Amino acid sequence: MKKTTTEETERQEKFLTDSGIEIQRTYEKRDIAEEKPGEYPFTRGVQPTMYRGKLWTMRQYAGFSTAEESNKRYHYLLNNGTTGLSVAFDLPTQIGYDSDHAFAEGEVGKSGVAIDSLRDIEILFDGISLENVTTSMTINSTSAILLSMYVALAKKQGADLKKISGTIQNDILKEYAARGTYIYPPKPSMRIITDIFAYCSTDVPKWNTISISGYHIREAGSTAVQELAFTLANGKAYLKAAIEKGLDIDVFARRLSFFFNAHNNFFEEIAKFRAARRMWATIVKELGAKDSRSMMLRFHTQTGGSTLTAQQPQNNIVRVTLQAMAAVMGGTQSLHTNGFDEALALPTEEAARIALRTQQIIGYESGAADTVDPMAGSWMVESLTDEIEAKAWEYIRRIDAMGGSVAAIEQGYMQDEIAASSYAYQRAIERNEKIIVGVNKFNVEEKPMDNLFTVDDSIRAMQMEKIRQVKAERDQAQVTQALQAIDAAARSEENLMPRILTAVEAYATLGEIADVLRNVYGEYKGN
């Protein structure tokens, strides 16, 4: 009988991570930096005790249809143990159009909640004390307007603005690179962002003024290494813009947070998160920070939407669990887990509950949260952390040589790199070099899923009527004056935020405010 060799029983000759890093058969003992959690450069975590002291914030991304319907879902999630809200906005809201605009037709309430004026925000958070909940808002081009609406509601509730906390995504650079919901050209967009930084540093000091997002870069098809490199390069650009604005890096940098994706390559994802902390600490220190607290990278994680499959959707529960566990073992500060049916429609309440329970089981039953950085000292994970970091620095050096992220985006560099990676990944699936269970292997005959969540097109008519009522009841002279003040501020060096807040409180609509800025700055058409 022929003897079977080890080589002959292997599935394949070479194993690679999704970033193309070769996985060795075994890893040997190696020198490991003796770092303590909660200390520079924070490879092992930003807090000495991590989840032993407090679990990560368990968020569920929600927002659909009208503010009334989304408010019901928020109360449902809060009653089921969610500890922070995460708001999704529909496409017209994201790109600065009211629901009655011709460009909004067919999109109102579809990808998130429709917000046209302060009236919608009042309804969205009805019965929810803004002092007692942290809110993350996934909004970029119109972030100054949505934040102003949130602040206006907090004031109406009698909240102490020094106490309200949450995050606006406010990351316009990744919109140009990967997602596309931009309005204005890069330079005025960066001006609006730094105005938000300056305003919040004095008026809303606990608010995280930007969530620098690798999530959408990864969703567009990047590798884990590209996600890390492009995200930190963008973060570096925001830091430099704030410094040029005259802000103190040791004050401002503490209000930055990051937003990463978690995909299925378990150990690569853990290593990516560990490398991110170490790299960011280095970047902030090199830009002049003296306080180690300024160098902490705090991040939110969402499980990978692009990894969800319409085929055998229940398999997505397993995928989400793996991704969530990687985020926890990588030291995330907050986490959103996707619903298993999101490749087909907005998540049903059942899917949202299972997604939340996944986090709770990891937090309370798995033991993964009982020690700090449980993968520290793993020769494999430590090696991957170093390799991912080295490859990410190569990208950042190239971007720096181009003049930074804005220049790299204007030259199409990031876009081209992401597109090439996305193409290569899809080709690997088509060639069966990359196995996706239920898609190109282990297929079964399936019946269509029942009870999918859908949004009725009649939502637009409801929103249009609400806009009509708001305009009929407000003081139009006050609105006109407030919009003119925004125009004047946009043409000068004056901070835009107080002017936008005044307009919001007068019930100017989101579209009206965005149009004033469109008139001053123009619209960006891309490459």
User: Per-residue pLDDT tens for 344-389?
Assistant: 877 888 998 999 999 999 999 999 999 999 999 999 999 999 999 9
Residue identified by tokens 């309430």 is: 109
Angle between helix 379-402 and 413-430 (nearest 10): 140
> Residue 37: which of 269, 377, 373 has the closest Cα?
373
> Residue 338: which of 303, 313, 300, 301 has the closest Cα?
303
CA–CA dist 206, 201 (Å, integer): 8
Count Cβ atoms below 10 Å from residue 246 Cβ, excluding itself: 8
Check residue 62 and give its pLDDT: 63
Check residue 8 and give its pLDDT: 46
Q: Is 480 helix (H, G, I), strand (E, B) or coil?
A: helix
| The pairing of beta strand 256-262 with beta strand 299-303 | parallel
pTM of the model: 0.88
CA–CA dist 106, 295 (Å, integer): 44
CA–CA dist 164, 150 (Å, integer): 10
Output the CA–CA distances (angstroms, integers) from residue 479 to 288, 428, 486, 494, 517, in the order listed. Answer: 43, 55, 11, 19, 15
Q: Which residues of the chain have pLDDT under 70?
A: 1-10, 61-65, 453-455, 527
Check residue 61 and give its pLDDT: 64
CB 304 within 8 A of CB 262: yes
- Dihedral of the alpha carbons of 497, 406, 255, 393, in degrees to the nearest 10: 180
CA–CA dist 356, 342 (Å, integer): 14
Kindly state the tokens that stand for 484.
């003119």
